[in-house]
């Protein structure tokens, strides 16, 4: 009996052993450490083997697209994601850089041109801000977006703010030939974005968000051979987040970034990472690369967190805004002193003729507020003054700053709000001083009219005026006209 039982079990044991031998000896979860050692390659060897063997689904990366796996990247940030900041992040080793959210309508109707001095591609439109234009001058053009094709196109992801598939396609088509991918902002909680149904408001309309992604994949991604991705936030419950991520991954996107905060949460609140394992597993099951964002302070921490939670890469925001050298590996020098970073930033800002207001804002983020030069920089009104405040005396750099000041008209005498306020104050003071004089003049007129004969003279004056107006020849006739 025992012999027969063993014989019956042998086929089952053979089938079990054959199944076990086909399973991989190690986890198929990609190693972030291995990926970062081959950051220049679009795919790490681990990911490539998994894709080739069919063990893990893998959405194909388009020919000109970027694979987010194994990357530590610069987050999309308003003001802090402008061209000089992106170039600075790349200088210190960022694998990819996201541009700031650019609203679809702002790009539609722009004029594209190449700046002959900088070589940058610029999309601009005539400013409708009347405060900055004079009747005697030609309307000033506002630059909506710009790209440095030589220094960043191969690592730039364009992020779009949209609530319409049609407008998204129109806008993204303008820049698609010059970037590595298009990313849809579905996580910004600011009213300017959510008020138009964009940003985090799309989390409440997932069907519309999916329609936008499918339209971009079909009409922009496929023709231009680039990937389409989306950046979202956590929803109220893991179940809601899971349902949304599953739905988004089925659209055909190549990447998804999860900001580990809910919509009401502010940056000062600690990031929530408990759902990361679940989100990473869902993305992996669909072959979609998953990046994490929220409280990532450096490249090393991004690598560690990615491996800990099973995601494919990390996105750095606030820490990079304060010091872009957070992307630099420790063996290459790690975090740089702020003065070095500021010096590099100024070189990039001058090289692309960056808007002066944006440059001052970024310097206020990069510099410690307690440093003596901080106040001098904030009071500066030109690039030359900023260099002086920072004690940057290189003759070539100073000459370049003078040229940029002239191009941006920073060297011309300008009427500031403070000047207008001072002028109004002076006019009010003069008006106030004239009031007593005018009052005394009126009092003298009243005194003259109260004297004997004043009424008669007054009537005579009125008659003369009436005669002139009525073309009468004589005073008497004019008097009759008045009396009538």
Tens-place pLDDT, residues 143-158: 999 999 999 999 999 9
What is the model's pLDDT at position 35?
44
Tens-place pLDDT, residues 425-438: 877 877 777 767 66
Is 188 catalytic? The answer is yes
Lowest-confidence pick of 177-181, 230-234, 265-269, 456-460: 456-460
Mean pLDDT, residues 327-335 taken together: 96
- Separation CA 49–CA 74 (nearest Å): 28
The more confident residue out of 484 and 356 is 356
What is the model's pLDDT at position 312?
97
Active-site option among 120, 188, 210, 249? 188
Mean pLDDT, residues 312-329 taken together: 97
With respect to CATH, is domain 40-335 assigned 2.60.40.2550? Answer: no
Nearest CA to 332 out of 291, 304, 292, 298 is that of: 298
What is the model's pLDDT at position 459?
62
Cβ-in-10-Å burial (0-12, 13-18, 19+) of 179 comes to buried
Which residue has 């986890």 as its token pair? 27
pLDDT higher than threshold 90 for residue 29: no
Point out which residues pair with 316 in neighbouring strands. Answer: 74
Identify the band that residue 16 occupies on the pLDDT scale cut at 50, 70 and 90.
Answer: very low
pLDDT higher than threshold 90 for residue 37: no
The more confident residue out of 476 and 301 is 301
Point out which residues pair with 124 in neighbouring strands. Answer: 111, 143
The pLDDT mean for the chain works out to 83
C-alpha separations of 34 from 37, 38, 45, 471 in Å: 5, 7, 8, 103
Whether the Cβ atoms of residue 225 and residue 62 lie closer than 8 Å to each other: yes
What is the model's pLDDT at position 113?
97
Is the alpha carbon torsion for 309, 281, 227, 37 positive or negative?
A: positive
What is the model's pLDDT at position 134?
54
């Amino acid at each position: 009996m025992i012999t027969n039982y063993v014989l019956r079990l042998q086929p089952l044991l053979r089938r079990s052993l054959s199944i076990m031998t086909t399973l991989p000896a190690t986890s198929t979860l990609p190693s972030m450490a291995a990926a970062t050692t081959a950051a220049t390659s679009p795919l790490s060897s681990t990911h490539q083997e998994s894709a080739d063997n069919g063990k893990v689904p893998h959405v194909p990366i388009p020919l000109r697209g970027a694979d987010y796996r194994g990357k530590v990247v610069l987050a999309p940030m308003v003001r802090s994601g402008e061209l000089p900041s992106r170039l600075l992040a790349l200088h210190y080793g960022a694998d990819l850089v996201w541009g700031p959210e650019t609203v679809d309508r702002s790009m539609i109707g722009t004029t594209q041109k190449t700046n002959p001095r900088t070589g940058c591609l610029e999309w601009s439109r005539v400013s409708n801000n009347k405060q900055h234009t004079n009747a005697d001058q030609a309307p000033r053009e506002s630059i909506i977006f710009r790209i440095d094709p030589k220094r960043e196109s191969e690592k730039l992801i364009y992020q779009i703010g949209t609530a319409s598939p049609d407008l998204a396609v129109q806008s993204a088509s303008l820049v698609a030939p010059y970037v590595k991918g298009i990313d849809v902002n579905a996580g910004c909680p600011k009213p300017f974005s959510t008020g138009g149904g964009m940003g985090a408001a799309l989390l409440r309309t997932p069907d519309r968000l999916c329609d936008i992604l499918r339209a971009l994949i079909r009409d922009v991604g496929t023709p231009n051979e680039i990937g389409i991705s989306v950046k979202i936030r956590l929803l109220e419950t893991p179940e809601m987040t899971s349902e949304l991520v599953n739905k988004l991954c089925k659209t055909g996107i190549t990447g998804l970034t999860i900001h580990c905060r809910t919509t009401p949460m502010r940056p000062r609140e600690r990031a929530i990472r408990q759902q990361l394992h679940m989100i990473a597993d869902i993305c992996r099951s669909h072959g979609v690369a998953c990046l994490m964002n929220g409280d990532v302070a450096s490249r090393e921490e991004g690598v560690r967190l990615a491996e800990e939670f099973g995601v494919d890469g990390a996105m750095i925001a606030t820490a990079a805004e304060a010091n872009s050298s957070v992307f630099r590996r420790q063996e290459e020098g790690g975090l740089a002193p702020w003065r070095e970073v500021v010096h590099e930033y100024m070189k990039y800002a001058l090289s692309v003729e960056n808007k002066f207001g944006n440059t001052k804002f970024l310097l206020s983020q990069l510099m410690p507020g307690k440093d003596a030069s901080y106040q001098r920089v904030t009071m500066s009104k030109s690039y030359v003054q900023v260099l002086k405040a920072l004690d940057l005396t290189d003759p070539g750099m100073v000459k370049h700053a003078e040229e940029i000041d002239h191009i941006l008209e920073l060297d011309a005498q300008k009427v500031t709000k403070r000047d207008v306020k001072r002028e109004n104050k002076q006019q009010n003071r003069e008006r106030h001083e004239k009031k007593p004089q005018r009052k005394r003049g009126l009092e003298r007129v009243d005194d003259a009219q109260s004297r004997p004969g004043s009424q008669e003279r007054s009537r005579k004056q009125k008659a003369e005026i009436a005669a002139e107006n009525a073309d009468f020849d004589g005073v008497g006739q004019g008097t009759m006209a008045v009396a009538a």
